């Protein structure tokens, strides 16, 4: 019966996640909020399908542990050493400033200093799971806000240990474990040494031995065993499991099996992180919320307001660009998973009354739920305004230029064209909208102007009426097509060379009369394909010939399909016909090469 109940619970988790997460993503709310809502729906205060929330929450924290282990695998020790300043400098500042601010606010409302201090310390921590999942989902880990947030989270994991140790002292409790303090410190040192030595000299040989068995499932089993063993070891001496697995990941970051470990553990991480967020949603105690709704909502709003304000001020001192500062403050504004541990310790040490601990747990949980909503509001209302401000920078005053070539857009694609022309002493005038890029290029002698390259009046000011050609290297497809339309209207005889992002873009450019078009990835892919043919035994001559045949035939097909590109049936028919022609051409070519290699045959065939 218990086994049946376990399977039913798994069924509920999966159904809730499969329904709510895609729906939340479709509505632009993000996967994290979808999981949280799914937890509320199936939890004790929703449909009541799941009862044992605490057990599920404890188990699902393994997802956070796996997440930090995988992040550690991406960080080599040298890189982590380079992060020491942001980890201890920025992290220490965040915990110190936010704790002091929250403690001061609580004491101003008459809260006892011990309760205020422990509450402030716990609430200063942020949710590792929510922050890292959000950064990963948005691919922002490498941004200044993402790097600063990650460094601060690492410090918080370290700081949580002394916080928990401090609580019994504030409660006036003395533990009598019969274990001298020096012995406990020695145990901690021994565990850390075991991690370092094991990671360096023991784990790699074991991984090498398992890899030789060529059994993927055994490799996966050992990867899970490694993480679980580290968790048990760290928990046995009172250290953070997340911190321990992160350290182990860092020590294995330069292992030749790092990518295999990442690919094996990634699916477990995703599922368990999802389960963690579902469990957080289930753990919202709506009974406490119903009993004191105004107080709890006021506490949640106050917590978020104080943390956002302090983090926003802090962001100005930690090298975060202005456009990312509010995002950074919102990202770290919620309470974290370690707050639950700190508050439980405070209740056990009689620093908190049971009702205070229950109240703060609900506040932290609701702050976690609120974070994706706040980020959604930021994306909808704040981010567009910041982008607008960036675009509203005044255009550079452009004096008439006499360069024969004007390039619109100077990103990765446009730069290659510009450098080639400059190397051949051909004058180029460039318009782009990235101010940092412009300042850099000016130092290298390019005539680059800040401005909207799709505005014909700016192009005229840049001398396009006297230029021989306009090169359109803009990233955005719609902008490039709009520019072609505007230039054709003003200067119908100007030669236009354009970059096509894809086949549809290619056809749209042809439709507008542009004939000098290059697909941005085609030439490089064709060259790499030619080199690949050589790796499977083709001679350099035959590989080059095959690539040439394919390239010419591909262009011929494009031109034949272009007049019909909006007729799907016609396009499919022409494409099938072209593929058959190409296969026939390669068969004929292979026969010619075979004949050329036959003794006595004419090698010129």
- Render 529-553 in DSSP notation, one character per residue: HHHHHHHTT--HHHHHHHHHHHHHH
Cβ proximity of 450 and 439 under 8 Å: no
The pLDDT tens digits for 555-583 are 888 888 777 766 666 667 767 776 777 67
Residue 356 falls in which region: left (phi positive, over 0), alpha (psi -120 to 50) or beta: alpha
- Rounded Cα gap, residues 212 and 191, in angstroms: 30
pTM value is 0.56
Alpha-carbon torsion, ordered 492, 493, 497, 498, to 10 deg = 10
CA 330 to chain CA mean position, Å: 17
Q: Tell me the CA distances in angstroms from 328 to 22, 149, 188, 260, 311, one per residue in order.
A: 26, 7, 34, 32, 8
The residue-averaged pLDDT of 576-593 equals: 68
Please report the pLDDT score of residue 27 as a whole number. 74
The pLDDT tens digits for 333-388 are 999 877 887 887 788 778 888 888 889 988 998 898 898 889 989 888 887 777 65
Residue 268 scores a pLDDT above 70 = yes
Residue 492 scores a pLDDT above 80 = yes
Please report the pLDDT score of residue 586 as a whole number. 64
Cβ proximity of 490 and 460 under 8 Å: yes
Contacts of 106 (CB under 8 A, 6+ apart): 115, 116, 119, 120
Residue 147 scores a pLDDT above 80 = yes
The pLDDT tens digits for 171-194 are 654 444 445 556 666 777 787 788
Contacts of 513 (CB under 8 A, 6+ apart): 488
Q: Tell me the CA distances in angstroms from 63 to 129, 267, 481, 586, one per residue in order.
A: 8, 10, 46, 52
Q: What is the mean pLDDT of the chain?
A: 80
The pLDDT tens digits for 91-100 are 999 999 999 9
The full set of domains in the chain, from first to last, is 63-370 (1.20.1530.20), 405-595 (3.40.50.720)
The residue-averaged pLDDT of 516-526 equals: 88
């Amino acid at each position: 019966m218990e086994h049946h109940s376990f399977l039913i619970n798994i069924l509920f988790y999966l159904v809730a996640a499969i329904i709510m997460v895609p729906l939340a993503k479709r509505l632009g709310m993000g996967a994290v909020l979808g999981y949280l809502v799914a937890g509320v729906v199936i939890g004790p205060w929703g449909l009541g399908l799941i009862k044992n929330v605490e057990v599920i929450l404890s188990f699902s924290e393994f997802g956070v542990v796996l997440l930090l282990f995988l992040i550690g695998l991406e960080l080599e020790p040298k890189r982590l050493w380079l992060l020491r300043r942001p980890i201890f400098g920025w992290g220490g500042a965040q915990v110190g400033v936010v704790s002091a601010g929250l403690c001061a606010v609580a004491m101003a409302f008459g809260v006892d200093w011990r309760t205020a201090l422990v509450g402030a310390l716990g609430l200063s921590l942020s949710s590792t799971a929510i922050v890292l999942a959000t950064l990963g989902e948005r691919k922002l880990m490498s941004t200044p806000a993402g790097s600063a947030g990650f460094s601060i989270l690492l410090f918080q994991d370290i700081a949580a240990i002394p916080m928990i140790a401090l609580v019994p002292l504030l409660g006036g409790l003395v533990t009598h474990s019969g274990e001298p303090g020096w012995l406990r410190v020695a145990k901690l040192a021994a565990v850390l040494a075991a991690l370092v030595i094991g990671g360096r000299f023991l784990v790699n040989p074991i991984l090498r031995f398992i890899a030789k068995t060529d059994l993927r499932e055994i490799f996966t089993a050992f990867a899970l065993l490694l993480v679980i063993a580290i968790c048990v070891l760290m928990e046995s001496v009172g250290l953070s499991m997340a911190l321990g697995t992160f350290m182990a990941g860092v020590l294995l970051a330069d292992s030749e099996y790092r990518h295999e470990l990442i690919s094996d553990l990634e699916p477990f991480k995703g599922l368990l992180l999802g389960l963690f967020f579902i469990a957080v949603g289930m753990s919202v105690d709506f009974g406490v919320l119903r009993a004191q709704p105004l107080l709890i909502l006021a506490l949640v709003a106050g917590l978020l307001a104080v943390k956002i304000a302090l983090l926003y001020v802090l962001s100005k001192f930690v090298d975060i660009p202005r456009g990312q500062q509010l995002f950074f403050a919102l990202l770290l504004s919620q309470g974290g998973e370690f707050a639950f541990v700190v508050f439980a310790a405070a209740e056990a040490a009689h620093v908190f009354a049971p009702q205070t601990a229950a109240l703060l747990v609900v506040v932290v949980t609701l702050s976690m739920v609120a974070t994706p909503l706040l980020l959604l509001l930021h994306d909808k209302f704040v981010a567009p305004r910041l982008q607008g401000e960036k675009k509203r920078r005044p255009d550079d005053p452009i004096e008439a230029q006499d360069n024969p070539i004007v390039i619109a857009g100077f990103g990765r694609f446009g730069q290659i064209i510009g450098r080639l022309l400059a190397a051949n002493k051909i004058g180029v005038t460039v318009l782009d909208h990235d101010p940092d890029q412009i300042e850099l290029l000016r130092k290298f002698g390019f005539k680059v102007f800040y401005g909207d390259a799709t505005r014909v009046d700016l192009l005229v000011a840049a001398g396009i009426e006297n230029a021989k050609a306009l090169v359109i290297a803009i990233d955005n497809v719609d902008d490039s097509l709009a520019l072609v339309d505007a230039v054709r209207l003003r200067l119908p005889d100007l030669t236009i060379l354009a970059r096509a992002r894809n086949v549809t873009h290619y056809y749209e450019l042809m439709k507008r009369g542009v004939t000098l078009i290059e697909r941005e990835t085609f030439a490089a892919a064709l060259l790499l394909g030619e080199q690949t043919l050589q790796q499977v035994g083709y001679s350099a001559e035959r590989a080059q010939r095959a690539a040439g045949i394919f390239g010419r035939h591909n262009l011929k097909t494009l031109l034949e399909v272009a007049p019909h590109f909006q007729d799907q049936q016609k396009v499919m028919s022409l494409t099938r016909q072209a593929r058959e022609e190409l296969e026939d051409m390669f068969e004929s070519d292979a026969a010619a090469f075979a004949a050329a290699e036959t003794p006595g045959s004419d090698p010129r065939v």
